[in-house]
Structure 1
Amino acid sequence: MKLNLPDADAFLMVSESEHNADMYYATKFLAVDSFIYFNSKNERLLVSDMELGRAKKESRVKDVIPASRYGLMGKLRKLGDIDVAYCEMIVEFLSSENARHIAVPYNFSVQLADCMRKNGLEVIPIKSPFREMREVKSELEIAAIKKAQRAGERALAEGTSAIKSAPVRHGVLYRENAPLKAEDIRAIIEMTLLSQGCEAPDIIIACGKDSSDPHWQGEGEILADEPIVIDMVPRSKKERYYSDMTRTVVRGTPKDELKDMYSAVLDSQVAAINEIKAGVSGSEIHNIVCDVLEERGYKTARGKNGEFTEGFIHSTGHGVGLDIHEGPNLSESGRELKAGCVVTVEPGLYYKNTGGVRIEDVVVVTQGGCKNLTMFEKNLVLK
């Protein structure tokens, strides 16, 4: 993987890859402990001896070096401090590569950077070159996102089925002689995802007026005639790619205000999806959504500063992949979209006296339009 580094000899990351998407993208080696990625004329990994065999089998980087080659344990015995010993090992490794001017990502350890500088190295923080590379997905990456999406849709079908089949008593949904709760629907979705080799770190089941808080996870009884916002970010455990989807449903009869909100949100989403294609900016798509909602009489945060708590209060969408939120964005500052970008389209309206409505699909940007990966139905009232 060739990087453009005009002011540096090499690019260096020191991190685990379980939570660092850039590290996993660069190496395709999944590890819970930190290791070293080096990119200059060649790519190299420096890993613990315990991980050497697995890294050689699994990493896309073929030049894998054990930490023992640079005497990590001897340095630790001498210095008595693993952080200092690890830094000295890195300094020795970089010296062997004739690398003195080292580019590192913005989230690089300050302690490690200071230690490297004390040893005569120039450390140059830069925006990670992998962030922009990750925006355009390969066919394999799109297939992994689609896999997660299909699993999410099957899980959502199980969740909404439980809501549809629940009897209503005094305005509350019941299941096996006990109130049906957000926690119950969340558990159904989680178990369905796990059965398909997927997971979701955060599942929103927000019912009633409190659904006006876009990221309220939701708890307690599911009510009839009230909005239920169901939002999940399914991820394939093997491929590690996320998808993202939201539906808003009602069991019973929604209020007229809620039906109007739903209609406006759905129309704004359709208008946005119809205009997404390579060459169009994320800001243009966001403005289309705001135009539709404002024409319907709803307030949007477009162009506003300060506190804004009701109406359309967030951006239209974001990139999705190894991270739940990554570039590009469909927002006021959104840049030009490229073919292969995978973005969410998720307009919403939120009013404290009514609740919230959000509808979210995931689409792949193409040269002439976009391909919607989301197939789940969009009906406010569950029948």
Structure 2
Amino acid sequence: MNFPDRPLEAAGAEAYVLYSSSDDPDMRYLTGFETGDPVFYIKKKGRKGTLVVPQMEAERAVSESHCDVVTRGDAGFFDYLKEEKDPAKATAKMVAALAGGDILVPRTFPLYLAREMERLCKINIDKGTVSGMRAVKTPDEADFIRHSQKITEDAISFAVSLIKSASAKTGELEINETPLTSDYLRNEIHCYLLKRGLLARDTIVSCGPETSMPHCKGSGVLVENEPIMIDLFPQDTKTGYYADMTRTFVRGEPDGEIKNMFSVVREAKVLGKSMIREGVSGSAVHNAVVSHFEGSGYKTGTEGFIHSLGHGVGMAVHEEPSLSPSGKELLAGNVVTVEPGLYYRSTGGIRLEDMGLVLKEGFDCFTKYKDELII
């Protein structure tokens, strides 16, 4: 991928400058290069993007990235450092020389460096060009996400098998006389994913009252007859693309209200997916689900449905576009989640989440895992 010339021309800038590690999805997207240390990506009008890296990373950058590569030494950094003594000032001079004029930077550009750069050129702030590019996936990118999602579904099946195989002692689940806790199950899921090339962080395994808090990670022993919410969003370590999926289960017999909530949330998910196609706004889909919940007797506000219906997924687990009150028109090639939920402190929570590709005339759902409450 290459940063386009049009935003540069609109800003009257000579180059786009990004400084970050590949933990920044924009950097990985534009360069295809993985690095734990921040490096510069500089894209001048009419030219290919350039990576500026330490000498030790030069050969690897040439091999792995789809950019031109120059070392800091060849870019004059060490000569500037002899003049300035201050690394920030030397870095600013190096970047200014490579850019050849005013620059365009993302909102995340480091302030300390921006202040040094402003002594040498004008800085313009980009309004999300790269995030907009990332929002529309190529067929290859969609396949990368499908792959991540398939392994994630397998991990959910693995987690369910552990819950099913657990014995119950006074309602608490245990495996081989060891309590089956949220932490235990989360770690087992993470190991399962890592063996298959996916890295998971902050996985939600919550139970009972914890499920009323949408992003509670969960702690303590899992119990029978209460909702168990599992939300997985791992990243493929090779491609960088995420999956995202949530299911809610009960080992045993849930009460009638949990059953009814599950049914209404499942209906909301079907409704949301049925509306998705190019040209439909994310807000229209979100608002339709709100109306469905309210018509089913579930108010929204401080309890009930208290978050957006969905979001984009790619090299970040949360990216454009959104299915929210402010969601804009969807484009073919967007990959979005549909994740309705209901949350009540007195009852618990239910969330079901699928993910798929926006098409011109519909929605290609990547998630094939069934909706089942009782396991």
The interval holding the TM-score normalised by the smaller chain is over 0.9
Q: Which residue of 2 aligns with 1:10?
A: 14
Task: Tell me if structure 2 keeps the 8 A contact 1:212–1:355.
Answer: yes
1: CA distance between counterparts of 2:151 and 2:242? Answer: 11
Q: 1:55 offset after TM fit, Å?
A: 1.1
Report the counterpart of residue 165 of structure 2 in structure 1: 165
Structure 2 Cα separation of the partners of residues 275 and 70 of structure 1: 52
Does 2:295 align with 1:291? no
How far off its partner does 1:17 sit?
A: 3.1
Separation in 2, partners of 1:7, 1:167 = 64
Cα distance in structure 2, aligned partners of 1:182 and 1:110: 40
Query: Is 1:129 matched with 2:122?
Result: no
1:93 matched to 2:86: no
**1:84 is aligned to 2:85:** no
Alignment of 1:149-160 (within 5 A): 149-160=149-160
Which of residues 352, 360, 375 is equivalent to 2:353?
A: 360
Matches within 5 A, 1:327-346: 327-346=320-339
| Deviation (angstroms), 1:77 | 4.0
Per-residue Cα deviation, 1:288-311 (whole angstroms, up to 9, x for no partner): 21111111100124xxxxxx2x10
Residue 16 of structure 1, CA deviation? 2.8
Which structure 2 residues correspond to residues 244-263 of structure 1 after superposition, within 5 A? 244-263=244-263
* Aligned residues of 1:17 and 1:29 also touching (Cα < 8 A): no
Match for 1:71: what amino acid? G
Q: How many Å separate the matches in 2 of 1:326 and 1:16? A: 18
1:47 to 53, 63, 71: 53
Which amino acid is the alignment partner of residue 22 of structure 2? E
- The answer (yes or no) to whether the contact 1:261–1:357 under 8 Å persists in 2 is yes
**Which of 42, 45, 48 is matched with 1:38 structurally?**
42
TM-score (norm 2): 0.95
Q: Distance in 1 between matches of 2:345 and 2:69?
A: 56
Instruction: Show the 5 A alignment for 1:118-267.
Output: 118-119=119-120, 121-267=121-267
Q: SS of the residue aligned with 1:56? A: helix
Q: Secondary structure at the match of 2:95?
A: helix
Match of residue 304 from structure 1: none
Aligned twin of 2:117: 116
Q: Is contact 2:88-2:116 (8 Å) kept?
A: no
The residue aligned with 1:378 is 371
Q: For the Cα contact (< 8 Å) 1:151–1:234, is it kept in 2?
A: no
Contact 1:16 1:31 in 2 (8 A): no
Whether the aligned pair in 2 keeps the contact of 1:15 and 1:33 (CA below 8 Å) is: no
Give how far 1:76 is off.
Answer: 2.7
Contact 2:22–2:38 (8 Å) recurs in 1: no
Q: 1:28 touches 1:58 (CA, 8 Å); kept in 2?
A: yes
> TM-score normalized by structure 1?
0.94
SS of the equivalent of 1:381 reads coil
Q: Quick one: which amino acid aligns to residue 196 of structure 1? A: R
Rounded Cα–Cα distance in structure 2 between residues aligned with 1:337 and 1:128: 17
| Deviation sequence 1:6-53 (CA, Å, 0-9, x none) | 122334333233211111111111111222212222122222222111
> 1:73-94 CA deviation, whole Å, 9 max, x = no partner?
2333443332222112112222
Q: Which runs of 5+ in 2 are unaligned?
A: none
d(CA) in 2 for partners of 1:215, 1:163: 21
| Matched-pair contact (CA < 8 Å) for 2:198–2:234 | yes
Tell me the amino acid that sits aligned with residue 235 of structure 1.
Q
Confirm or deny that 1:60 pairs with 2:66. yes
Please say if residues 22 and 33 of structure 2, whose CA atoms lie closer than 8 Å, have aligned partners that are also in contact.
Answer: no
Contact 2:159 2:185 in 1 (8 A): yes
What do the CA deviations read for 1:167-212 (whole angstroms, capped 9, x no partner)?
1111111111122111111111111101111111121000001210
Return 5+ residue gaps in structure 1 as ranges.
302-307
Instruction: Determine whether 1:326 maps to 2:326.
Output: no
The amino acid of 1:270's aligned partner reads V
* 2:74 partner SS: helix
Cα-to-partner distance string for 1:336-378 (whole Å, 9 max, x where unaligned): 0011100000000000011110000001111110111001121
In the other structure, the counterpart of 2:75 is 70
DSSP-derived class of the 1:260 partner: helix
Among the aligned pairs, what percent are the same residue? 39
Give deviations 1:140-170, integer Å, cap 9, x for gaps. 1111111111111111111110101111111
Match of 1:305 in 2: none
Aligned length: 369
